[in-house]
Structures are given as C-alpha cells and as structure tokens.
Amino acid sequence: MGCFFDCLMCPCVAWVAAFGVGIYFLREYMQGGKFKKYTNETGKVVIVTGSNTGIGKETVLELARRNATIYMACRDKKRAEQAMKEIVQETNNKSIFVRELDLASLDSIRKFVDDFKKEQDKLHILINNAGVMRCPHMLTKNGFEMQLGVNHMGHFLLTNLLLDLLKKTAPSRIVNVSSLFHTCGAINIDDLNSEKSYDEGNAYSQSKLANVLFTRELAKRLEGTGVTVNALHPGAVDTELGRHMKILNNLFGRLVLKTLLWPFMKTPKNGAQTTLYAALDPDLDNVTGMYFSDCALKPVAPAAMDDKTGKFLWEESEKWTHSKY
C-alpha cells in the first residue's frame, strides 16, 4: 500500500517542482531587458514626474546612484518626501529635491515651472512619467477628462513650458512613458473630452495614443535643436497604477488574478529599465521621435503614425492649455 502511495506521489512531486521552476524562469524572462551601461550624470539636472512610488521612484534611485541632480515633481508632497529620504539614505546623493506638481491643474504646472526656473538655469532630462490608469469618470481642475488631462494635456503644457530651458541646455532629452495600450487606442475627434460617453479603458488608451502621436509631432518641431523626444512602454509592472482597476481590488482579484498574473509582471525596478535606457544611453544621442520597449526600438501602432491626427491633437492641446509653441 505504502509503495503504491509513493509511486503515485513521486511523479506528482516532480511535476509540481518542474512547474515551479518553469514559472520561475517565465517570470525571469518577462522581466525584460536591463540597462547596464555605466554613465556618469554628475552636473546633469533631471525632472521626473510622478516619482514617489513604482517606476518613477526606481528611476530616481538609479539616477541618484549616477550622481544626477534630481527634481521629483509629485502631487503628494508628503509621500514624495518619504521616498526622497529613502533614496538619499541609500545613495548618499543629497541633490534630490521634492517639488509639488499637480498635472490635473494648469495653474499648478505653471507655478512649478516658474519656481523651477528660479532655481535652475539648466535642464538636461525631462521624464514624463506620471500617469493615471482606468480611473472612473473624473474631471481635472480645468474640466478635462482625468486620463487625457493628466497623461496628455498636463504633460503637454509642462513640456512646452520647459522647452526653452531644454533647448538652452542641449543636447537634452525628453522621455515619455507611454504604454503598449496605445495600440488599442483611437483619438475620438468628435468627443475628445469624453463628454458624450465615457469608457475608462478607451479613455486610457486614447491618452496613451496621444502620448505617442505627440512624441512624433514634437520630434519634428524640435529637429536641429539638439533636444530629442522619445516614448516608451515600460512593460506590465505591478505598481499602484492599477489601483483603479476594480477587478484587481476585490478579494478575488487580489488572490487569484494577481497570482495568475504574477509571472508576467515586472518589478518596478525592471519596469524602470527602458526609461533609464531612453534617458541615458549614449547611443541614443541623435535618436528622436521613436518608441522603445524592453530597452530596444519597437514599431508603433499605425494609428500613432497618423500625422493628420497628430496635428489636430496638437492644435486642440494648444487651445485647451492656452499655450503656443
């Protein structure tokens, strides 16, 4: 009887072990490319938006190790200061500053830029990292649908207001953290602000497609200035971005879905690698208007190549944010 039981269990244990090892390697594989080149960023000034947690925080940490001067532009000043303290402690780099920036408010963006320009006359790298994902229907202080408002319009104004400084400091770089989800997006020309109907997924994809369209439009406008602008997909990262995804927030979601998705999710540290690559790799000095994923060049969706929509969006964004490039 014992023997029968042993024989039954053996293959079972082996099978479970093999499965575990398989899952482990699958997760390793899904972590994606890493940016390993040594660079020395002493004297470089960098702004990272939305950097109190997740990919943004990991990006700041690595930049701090490379000795850059970093401005963490965050809405939640308290949490940002906590993150800053941890990073200072870990790297011994004391040139890290927290400044308040609410991308859902055009006034806050203008104030942030005014104050920044009083402190610094250089800007080498702007990392547009902040984002909201699939939130319920909400409006920004200026009445923009939240996802388009923060992911796109807010960064549009921020970038435009900092362009003079970036040009003066050239060679300099703008890095836009977009998402693979731009491939499912469409720009709703008749209802850009989702006033007639709202779907959280579509609004998210639209805002991310807008990022990629803008990156290409801006690259054209910046030709010959020494300022490059590129967009990227960080990968599926297990960060707080999903906090509005109802499916991940109930008990079932937490226990079952997160476990099932775990092998496919990058850690925030690995999610930051493509951002670091786009911001720092010397090989990309002259590369602009491109899209990266897993530390490599990737093609964008056909919808992101549509220059006519890009131009339409640019003009709308100038109107909405009362800014002219």
Ligand X SMILES: *[C@@H]1O[C@H](CO)[C@@H](O)[C@H](O)[C@H]1NC(C)=O
Active site residues: 204
Nearer to ligand X, 246 or 322 (CB): 322
DSSP H or E run through 233:
strand 227-233
Nearer to ligand X, 115 or 285 (CB): 285
Q: Considering the complex, what minimum distance in angstroms separates the CB of residue 22 from ligand X?
A: 36
**Which of 69, 72, 70 minimizes the C-alpha distance to 43?**
69
Q: Considering the complex, what minimum distance in angstroms separates the CB of residue 305 from ligand X?
A: 16
Using alpha carbons, list the distances in angstroms from residue 291 to 145, 176, 178, 231, 307: 25, 9, 9, 5, 16
Nearer to ligand X, 51 or 211 (CB): 211
Q: Considering the complex, what minimum distance in angstroms separates the CB of residue 285 from ligand X?
A: 4
Tokens at 130, concatenated: 């902040």
Using alpha carbons, list the distances in angstroms from residue 159 to 11, 36, 152, 276: 59, 28, 10, 19
3-class DSSP string for 183-204? HHCCCCCCCCCCCCCCCHHHHH
Q: Considering the complex, what minimum distance in angstroms separates the CB of residue 202 from ligand X?
A: 17
Q: What share of the chain is helix, strand, coil (3-state, %, to 5)?
A: 55, 15, 30
Nearer to ligand X, 200 or 254 (CB): 200
Q: Considering the complex, what minimum distance in angstroms separates the CB of residue 314 from ligand X?
A: 8
Using alpha carbons, list the distances in angstroms from residue 153 to 118, 246, 308, 317: 24, 25, 18, 6
C-alpha span between 192 and 44 (Å, rounded): 37
Nearer to ligand X, 89 or 259 (CB): 89
Q: Considering the complex, what minimum distance in angstroms separates the CB of residue 256 from ligand X?
A: 31
> To 10 degrees, what angle do helices 200-221 and 155-169 make?
20
Coil, strand or helix at 70: strand
Peptide bond into 171 cis (omega under 30): yes
- Strand ranges in 111-164 using DSSP code E only, listed in sequence order: 125-128
Tokens at 288, concatenated: 């602009």
Nearer to ligand X, 124 or 152 (CB): 152
Q: Considering the complex, what minimum distance in angstroms separates the CB of residue 251 from ligand X?
A: 32
Nearer to ligand X, 215 or 275 (CB): 215
Tokens at 305, concatenated: 């190549």
What are the φ and ψ backbone dihedral angles of 218, each rounded to 5 degrees? -65, -40
C-alpha span between 271 and 177 (Å, rounded): 11
Residues that bind ligand X (CB under 6 A): 40, 42-43, 64-65, 67, 91-95, 128, 151-152, 155-156, 159, 176-178, 211, 214-215, 218, 283, 285-286
